[in-house]
Amino acid sequence: MSNILYDDQVKYLTLFRNESELLTKEMEVYAAKNKIPILDWMSAEFLEQLITISKPKNVLEIGTAIGYSSIRIASKLRKKGSLDTIEKSKNNIKLAQEYIRRAKLTSSINILEGDALEIMPRMDKKYDLIFLDADKEDYEKLFYYSLMLLKKGGVLFVDNLLWHGYVAANSVPDSFKKSTKFIREFNKMFMNSTELQSTILSIGDGIGLGVKL
């Protein structure tokens, strides 16, 4: 549940969720039970709408986890669209591959195993949309690599920029102080970038949306 919106608002919005997507619901339950961070469902629905509107051909995801957002992205791509997604956890990759198989999207999703900080500098493919959702301490470097790989007019979609509400809080729990510092610094860089038209939206855990100029 979001820590940005009021609980009553979240409960109200939940009434309109499409309950027909049984696989993604199963993945949400699994992620919650096993404490695996995935994209908030409201953010996922916004990302799906964005893909439907912008019609990207090539998408890059930085941080596959169990494949939840990968499936939601790929399900909205055009027939010739494809998603490259980077993940370093072998356990996550195994889970993601099985979920992707069950979603019948193996032909649209290409998992790149390894550290994004090592993989991205070697890539020469350009992308219409890049989704960044990785380790927070790596956000700054991954941001610059993303700009290198993003086409002009392309969209950069970044998760967790309100970070459970802590970026705007005067008091932050000790366990979140370091990560909150990283996100606060990233937000300044993201919003002041001369290469993007940027905004931060209070959807889910806070979405950064930038269009490359």
**Residue 205: which of 7, 6, 39 has the closest Cα?**
39
pLDDT per residue as tens digits for the range 170-200: 999 999 999 999 999 999 999 999 999 999 9
**Can you give the CATH number for the domain in which 36 is found?**
3.40.50.150
Q: Answer for the pair 161, 138: CB distance below 8 angstroms, yes or no.
A: no
* Domain extent for 125: 7-212
Q: Answer for the pair 23, 71: CB distance below 8 angstroms, yes or no.
A: yes
Task: State the pLDDT confidence band at 4, using cuts at 50, 70 and 90.
Answer: low
Q: Answer for the pair 109, 74: CB distance below 8 angstroms, yes or no.
A: yes
- Residue 106 CB coordination number (10 Å): 13
Q: How far is CA 187 from its chain centroid?
A: 16
How buried is residue 34: exposed, middle or buried, by Cβ count under 10 Å (0-12/13-18/19+)? exposed
d(CA 104, CA 98): 10
d(CA 128, CA 76): 14
What's the predicted TM-score (pTM) here? 0.93
Look at residue 55 and tell me whether its pLDDT is greater than 50. yes
The verdict on residue 157 lying in a domain is: yes
The pLDDT value recorded for residue 1 is 42
Q: Answer for the pair 207, 194: CB distance below 8 angstroms, yes or no.
A: no
The verdict on residue 59 lying in a domain is: yes
Query: How many structural domains is the chain composed of?
Result: 1
pLDDT per residue as tens digits for the range 12-51: 888 887 766 789 999 999 999 999 999 999 999 999 999 9
The verdict on residue 128 lying in a domain is: yes
- Residue 8 CB coordination number (10 Å): 8
Q: Answer for the pair 149, 130: CB distance below 8 angstroms, yes or no.
A: yes
The verdict on residue 67 lying in a domain is: yes
| CA distance to 36, 42, 111, 162, 196, per residue, from 60 (Å) | 20, 20, 10, 22, 17
pLDDT per residue as tens digits for the range 56-66: 999 999 999 99
pLDDT per residue as tens digits for the range 66-82: 999 999 999 999 989 99
Task: State the pLDDT confidence band at 9, using cuts at 50, 70 and 90.
Answer: confident
Q: 3-class DSSP state for residue 206?
A: coil
The verdict on residue 1 lying in a domain is: no
The verdict on residue 133 lying in a domain is: yes
Q: Answer for the pair 166, 123: CB distance below 8 angstroms, yes or no.
A: no
